Structure 1
Amino acid sequence: MSVFLVEDEPSLMYVLEESIKTLGYAVVEKAEYLPDALERAKSVEFDVAMLDVNLHGQESFPLQTF
């Protein structure tokens, strides 16, 4: 299973990525800012996304359409 990880805290991003890998899944893309996440969601194939709701003050809800 491939995972798109969206998180704005670098240390938490690292912990989540390592946890996902430990479970046997692949993190195929990461993003820290909403504009980057929206652009990457268009160009990367993934099975599931793990989203932080608040990305530097912006809600990540627009990503739910992908």
Structure 2
Amino acid sequence: MTAYSGIKVLIVEDEGLVALMIEDMLQDLGCEVIASVARVSEASGIAATAEINLAVLDINLAGQPSFPVAEILRDRGVPFIFSTGYGREGLPHQFTGSPVLGKPFSASDLQRTMAKALDCPAID
């Protein structure tokens, strides 16, 4: 059992191998992956209705930004992490304070960023 056991996570990532890698990392931390989706429309529906504790959002989903999903999560009070190769420069003003996980990343990078998003101590 880890500090992250039972945390329900939504993964929004359009690259299949990256999504699987994130899913494996989260499961190794004890998280429960609620869904892994690749499109904004599907992610928006899940973000609006599912019981989740955290989301990992790729910023660019097949040319569409995931910011509408982030807005839904923010309005529901659900923490989220942006996963991107673009860095903070790709974030609009309203999300500049959001946790960002730069691609490529390791399991320890993910864990540290999760701790920041969930406002809990990082556990190495």
State TM-score, norm by structure 2: 0.51
* Conserved 8 A contact 1:29-1:44: no
Identical counterparts, % of pairs: 33
List per-residue Cα deviations over 1:4-48 (Å, max 9, x = no partner).
000000011101100100011110112100111111112211000
Q: CA RMSD in A?
A: 0.8
Report which of the two structures shows the higher radius of gyration computed on alpha carbons.
2
| Aligned with residue 28 of structure 1, among 31, 34, 42 | 34
Which sections of structure 1, spanning at least 5 residues, go unmatched? none
**How many residues are paired up?**
66
Q: Which residue of 2 aligns with 1:5?
A: 11
Q: Is the deviation greater in 48-57 or in 29-38?
A: 29-38
Identify which of structures 1 and 2 has the higher relative contact order when contacts are C-alpha pairs closer than 8 Å and 6+ apart. 1
Higher strand share: 1
- Measured in 1, the distance between the counterparts of 2:40 and 2:69 equals 8
User: What are the ranges of 5 or more consecutive residues in structure 2 without an aligned counterpart?
Assistant: 1-6, 74-124
| 2:46 is the counterpart of 1:40 | yes
